[in-house]
């Protein structure tokens, strides 16, 4: 895939994988705008993700997320998606029209160490489902939609960024 000014880079992965953090670094390094789709949802709804979950349920949040993704143009942007974006085939097909999907594949034990605010984080899954179950459910979807899979095991932020940049050069 040839990168031009209109090509986006779509980051997918679990909450705590580093999508927003790496997104900020990529955006700075490449002089591209960063879009955090969780913030797009919150702006549209005027509510936090957790409030949407609490008041409307996880299926409503997933539906809102899909609508937000489908109705947005991501031309020339770094896109840090919500972890549940992969539940919508239509939304993922739309995202992939703008550029490659990069899956930040972080092992479950590292995710568990990073995500401390599970009860207030706004993770769209059925009530009572733990992070390990959400991880197991989503992992095949992340792999299905990924154009690039970055093995982020034991990598710090700068090393993960370097791996992403290196992989993007192979497209």
Q: Please tell me whether residue 110 adopts helix, strand or coil conformation.
A: helix
Which letter, b or e, does each residue of 119-142 get, where b requires 16 or more Cβ atoms within 10 Å of its Cβ?
A: eebbbbbeeeeebeebbeebbebb
Residue 76 counted as an annotated binding residue: no
Residue 96 counted as an annotated binding residue: no
Residue 151 counted as an annotated binding residue: no
Residue 138 counted as an annotated binding residue: yes
36 has which bridge partners?
80
Tokens of residue 160, six digits = 């993960």
Residue 56 counted as an annotated binding residue: no
159 backbone dihedrals φ, ψ, rounded to 5°: -65, -40
Residue 30 counted as an annotated binding residue: no
Q: Please tell me whether residue 16 adopts helix, strand or coil conformation.
A: coil
Residue 38 counted as an annotated binding residue: yes
Residue 19 counted as an annotated binding residue: yes
Closest residue by Cα to residue 164 from 4, 12, 46, 2:
12
Residue 25 counted as an annotated binding residue: no
Residues annotated within the binding site for ATP are 16-21, 121
Residues annotated within the binding site are 16-21, 38, 62, 83, 121, 138
Residues annotated within the binding site for Mg(2+) are 20
Residues annotated within the binding site for substrate are 38, 62, 83, 138
């Amino acid at each position: 895939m040839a990168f031009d000014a209109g090509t986006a880079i779509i980051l997918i992965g679990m909450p705590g994988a580093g999508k927003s953090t790496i997104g900020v670094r990529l955006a700075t390094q490449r002089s591209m705008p960063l879009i955090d789709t969780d913030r797009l949802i919150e702006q549209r709804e005027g509510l936090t993700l957790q409030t949407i979950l609490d008041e409307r349920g996880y299926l409503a949040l997933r539906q809102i997320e899909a609508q937000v993704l489908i109705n947005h143009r991501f031309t020339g942007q770094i896109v840090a998606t919500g972890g549940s974006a992969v539940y919508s085939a239509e939304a993922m097909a739309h995202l992939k029209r703008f550029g490659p999907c990069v899956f930040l594949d972080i092992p479950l034990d590292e995710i568990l160490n990073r995500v401390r605010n599970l009860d207030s984080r706004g993770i769209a899954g059925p009530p009572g489902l733990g992070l390990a179950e959400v991880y197991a459910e989503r992992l095949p979807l992340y792999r299905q939609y990924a154009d690039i899979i970055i093995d982020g095991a034991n990598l710090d932020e700068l090393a993960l960024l370097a791996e992403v940049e290196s992989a993007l050069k192979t497209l």
